Amino acid sequence: MSGAGGNWRKDTTRARTGAHRRTPGNAHPDSPAELSGKYGPVFTVHLGPWRRVVVLVGREAVQEALGGQAEEFGGRGTLATLDPTFDGHGVFFSNGERWRQLRKFTTLALRDLGMGRREGEELISAEARCLVEAFQGTEGQPFDPSLLLAQATSNVICSLTLGLRFPYEDEEFQAVVRAAGGILLGISSPWGQAYEMFSWLLKPLPGPRTQLLGDLGALATFAIEQVQRHQGSVDTSGPARDVVDAFLLKMAKDKHDPNTEFTDKNLLMTVIYLLFAGTATVSAMIRYTLLLLLKYPQVLERVQEELTRELGAGRAPGLGDRARLPYTDAVLHEAQRLLALVPMGIPRALTRTTCFRGYTLPQGTEVFPLLGSVLHDPEVFEQPEEFNPGRFLDADGRFKKQEAFLPFSLGKRVCLGEGLVRAELFLLVTAILQAFSLESPCPPAALNLQPAVSGLFNIPPNFQLQVRPR
């Protein structure tokens, strides 16, 4: 381990209201902060014998790199657990011209299908009604909401990507949703972290990798079946029904272009990624928000009072109501900040040799922008381990943006589904809170906020929920 640029060549140019204490845990370990205190906000670590990465800590360093030098820091780094499967293909794991083509296409396709527009809001609201109905079916008995929440968020991305919505009782759908959750758990587990450093040693061994490959295989099999279904039914004369349709139409249009990136493999890997991210990561954020509301019933009460005061009893909010619900919006933002779903950030890679803070970093250098260190930067968020929605409110109670609120990262590789995720979080959570009072079988003090697993992702713990009609 070494400070700043490590062994890289040195270049010669060069308001706390309503706060609640969070249970201490390992979700945001002290080690990056301690290392930053010793080496500064930019330093090098060695992951195993051959992999050297530059680590960025704190708001200033991360924003300067990902925002100020977005082009240079816009490459995708290595994820040893997933790279053999994706092999540099698909919208998430690709680089260079392949990534540019796929990123532009996927963003436009999702927008054309309603993301960020009224059609997308109606899709999420319809799913929210199905979720509320499923919650009603629990009849006040304690239940683990994990699967239902993941099915709801998966149905949203399945509708956009595949043009299908699945009943919650569908066993094949349940298996696919569980596989997505298994992938999230596998890459974040202690084994997953070890594999990032010693994949050359661990790859031939049985064990957790077998489970991860099984989950990836289940998701891939499902994706292949859906793509084949589309290939037999796509209408070349009509508008695209979903992302797969749009991709197949683009493939047909570009079939004589030798430089096209619209290939079967890029289609399949893009679909697998969208299904995984749209299922496992979004539901984890919603689950953690509900857990916080159980932990802090006074916050839950204030949110539901605001919903009733502004909307009346029972009416589920639309996105146009967000401005009228500043406290609710603040709670959702603070939950995302506190969880820091991707604490290490997804690895980046330098697209060209770059001078950064007095160090010359060669093209291809891997970079870990620690998003958790931004979301928990004590220079921006006083007592960052506290749950304090007031951080996102001004003196008059209006919602206040925070420049360091970067749960979706920044720059060229910012989450392409950010708008969709924000809409899902708002519409699904508020629909639940309008319909039900939330209770826990155990006292709030006994609820544990510490992530069950903290690695590449912070995965919230499972918990029991009871809902009763309001």
Q: Which domains can be identified in the chain, with CATH numbers?
A: 2-469 (1.10.630.10)
Q: Comparing 10-24, 30-44, 70-84, 278-292, which segment has the lowest mean pLDDT?
A: 10-24
Distance CA 466, CA 297 (A): 13
Distance CA 53, CA 6 (A): 9
pLDDT above 70 for 37: yes
Please give the mean pLDDT across all residues of the chain.
Answer: 91
Name the pairing type of β-strands 366-369 and 51-56: parallel
76: Cβ contacts below 8 Å, ≥ 6 apart: 92, 93, 94, 95, 99, 346, 347, 348, 349, 413
State the number of CA atoms in the 13 A half-sphere of 291 facing the CB: 30
- Mean pLDDT over 384-412 rounds to 96
State how far Cα 18 lies from the chain centre. Answer: 27
pLDDT above 80 for 12: no
pLDDT confidence of residue 446: 96
Distance CA 427, CA 434 (A): 10
pLDDT confidence of residue 315: 85
315 token code pair: 């009416």
Q: Is 44 helix (H, G, I), strand (E, B) or coil?
A: strand
pLDDT above 80 for 33: no
Distance CA 468, CA 44 (A): 52
- Mean pLDDT over 140-154 rounds to 98
At which residue do the structure tokens 């010693």 appear? 198
What pLDDT band is residue 48 in, cutting at 50, 70 and 90? confident
- Mean pLDDT over 455-462 rounds to 96
pLDDT above 70 for 24: no
pLDDT confidence of residue 27: 37
- Mean pLDDT over 197-204 rounds to 83
The predicted-structure confidence for 228-269, as pLDDT tens digits, reads as follows 999 989 888 878 999 999 999 999 999 999 999 999 999 999
Phi, psi of 447 (to 5 degrees): -75, 135
pLDDT above 60 for 15: no
- Mean pLDDT over 339-349 rounds to 96
pLDDT above 50 for 14: no
CA distances from 174 to 147, 152, 194, 268, 281 (A): 8, 11, 29, 21, 16
What pLDDT band is residue 9 in, cutting at 50, 70 and 90? very low
Distance CA 224, CA 201 (A): 31
pLDDT above 80 for 400: yes
Judge whether 425 and 286 are in contact, CB under 8 Å: yes
Torsion of Cα atoms, 347 then 40 then 189 then 103, to 10°: -20
- Mean pLDDT over 76-91 rounds to 95
Distance CA 252, CA 248 (A): 6
The predicted-structure confidence for 118-128, as pLDDT tens digits, reads as follows 899 999 999 99
CA distances from 36 to 39, 41, 77, 226, 346 (A): 5, 5, 22, 47, 19
pTM of the model: 0.92
The predicted-structure confidence for 426-444, as pLDDT tens digits, reads as follows 999 999 999 999 999 999 9
- Which parts of 277-368 fold into alpha helices (H)? 282-295, 297-311, 326-339
pLDDT confidence of residue 167: 98
pLDDT above 60 for 31: no
- Mean pLDDT over 257-286 rounds to 97
pLDDT confidence of residue 11: 32
What pLDDT band is residue 21 in, cutting at 50, 70 and 90? low
pLDDT confidence of residue 19: 66
Which residue from 454, 340, 427, 457 is spatially nearest to 387, judged by alpha carbons?
340
pLDDT confidence of residue 204: 80
Determine the residue type at 188: S
Burial of 379 (0-12, 13-18, 19+ CB in 10 A): exposed
